Structures are given as structure tokens and as C-alpha cells.
Amino acid sequence: RKEVEQDPGPFNVPEGATVAFNCTYSNSASQSFFWYRQDCRKEPKLLMSVYSSGNEDGRFTAQLNRASQYISLLIRDSKLSDSATYLCVVASNQGGKLIFGQGTELSVKP
Amino acid sequence: GAVVSQHPSWVICKSGTSVKIECRSLDFQATTMFWYRQFPKQSLMLMATSNEGSKATYEQGVEKDKFLINHASLTLSTLTVTSAHPEDSSFYICSASGTGLQETQYFGPGTRLLVL
């Protein structure tokens, strides 16, 4: 079983749609959680950290459920520029190592 | 702030040659640098973690004699792919974290390696 699992997609949605991505992780001792965005042939860029209380940044809302070991990302009012691969990332309790999910591909169409 | 550069951005080489990739933190001191590899349609896989002045810690399955890592200063780490073969063709990405950055990892732009 992979340490971090995501549905690879692709998710094809129209502009303005709301889309949700889910992720599960296997190590209950994991310390920190993030969503990264990766554009084609580029490095990943931090989108937002994820907290148990939930956090929102503009059109993006992230949620963490430690009991279920589940992380989510909600994107509202999708823009064409949101098209990218979204990576669920978990920081282990071993020296700050990041464990990346496979990524979920999002394509927003006009 | 917190910019990480990589050089070269892409390289094409013949099978059997060695390739060196540099990772630099431009505006902070990177106490720890990480090297990742990403194959098409796959996730980033951590290859090794290096702390300045000490030997790198390699992940299971990564050959330390093939992927030589040197972290000689607080702003530079190098990854050398020795005797590269076509199966080593991949996207190599480094990241760096340092004191005062709350352990956030900042990623370099990556190096695309193609071995013919």
C-alpha cells in the first residue's frame, strides 16, 4: 500500500465548477500535511498547509481528518489557470521527509 | 526570499557518462537539502537527504555509489549520476530547508536528464 494515495484523475471540469480532491495516508504518526501544485514539466509549489481545524485561502479550502487519515482540497469557482496536478504531501516524523502522493490531474475547460 | 536554483535545467548525455547537477540556495543557508526523482506520470520519490558537512542518507533502493551527493557548504549540494544509463533518464528535483524557515522545503526548478 502506498504511503499517500490519491486518485490520479484526470478531472475535467468547466470553468466556474467546484471540484474536490481527496487523499489518504497510511502513517498515523505523520506530523504535517500539505497540498502542492505542479504544472507540467515544472517543480512543485506549495499551495497550502492543511490543519485539523480546516483552512481556507481564497477559493481553496483544505481539511484534515486525523482519525480517518484523510485530507481534502476543495476548489471553488475553478479558473482555467487552476489546470495542474495537485499533490497531496505528508511530512513524516523522520527528519522532515516529505512523502508525495501520485498527484491528481485537473483540467479546467472554458 | 527562499529561492533555490538548479543547474543545468536539462542535459542530454551518452550512456556511460557521468552527469553533475548543482542545487543552490540563493538567499538562505540550507542546513538540509533533499534530492528527488520523478518519472513521467509518477510522484516525486525522495532519493536522499543531505545535511551540510555530513554524509547523505539514502532511501531504500537508491544506490549511493551511483548517485553521489555532496553538500559541502550551506548553499550548495551536488548530485552526480555516475555511469548514467537510459533508465536514469528522469526529472531530478532538489529542495532545501534551513533555520528560520520553519522547516519548509523550497524546491529548485528541476533538471531534466535524458541519457541516450
The one-digit pLDDT tens for each residue of chain B (116 residues) are 689 999 999 999 999 999 999 999 998 888 899 999 999 888 899 999 998 888 899 999 999 999 999 988 899 999 999 999 999 999 999 999 886 555 678 999 999 999 99
The dihedral sign for the CA sequence A21, A27, A33, A36: negative
What is the spatial distance between Cα A24 and Cα B26, in angstroms, rounded to a whole number?
35
Question: Nearest-CA distance from B62 to chain A in Å?
Answer: 16
The whole-number average pLDDT for the span A9-13 is 94
State whether B107 and A95 contact (CB < 8 Å): no
> Where does the pLDDT of residue A108 fall: very low under 50, low under 70, confident under 90, or very high at 90 and above?
very high
Contacts of A95 in chain B (CB under 8 A): 32, 49, 57
Question: Residues of B numbered 33-72 whose beta carbons fall under 8 angstroms of chain A's beta carbons: which are they?
Answer: 34, 36, 41-46, 49, 57
Instruction: Kindly state whether B80 is in contact with chain A, defined as any CB-CB distance less than 8 angstroms.
Output: no
Instruction: Kindly state whether B89 is in contact with chain A, defined as any CB-CB distance less than 8 angstroms.
Output: no
How many CB pairs below 8 Å do chains A and B form together? Answer: 44
Q: Which residues contact A80 (CB under 8 A, 6 or more apart)?
A: A15, A108, A109, A110
- The answer to whether the CB of B63 falls within 8 A of the CB of A107 is no
- The answer to whether the CB of A23 falls within 8 A of the CB of A101 is yes
Q: Which residue has the higher pLDDT, A97 or B84?
A: B84
Cell of A16: 466556474
> What pLDDT is recorded for position A37?
96
Name the CA dihedral angle for A44, A55, A51, A108, rounded to a multiple of 10 degrees: -40
CB-nearest partner of B108 from A41, A43, A46: A43
State whether B43 and A103 contact (CB < 8 Å): yes
Question: Residues of A numbered 1-40 whose beta carbons fall under 8 angstroms of chain B's beta carbons: which are they?
Answer: 4, 8
Q: Which residues contact A78 (CB under 8 A, 6 or more apart)?
A: A13, A14, A15, A16, A17, A18, A19, A106, A108
Instruction: Kindly state whether B7 is in contact with chain A, defined as any CB-CB distance less than 8 angstroms.
Output: no
Which residues are registered as beta bridge partners of A13?
A: A108
Contacts of B110 in chain A (CB under 8 A): 41-43
Residue written as grid cell 528535483: B93
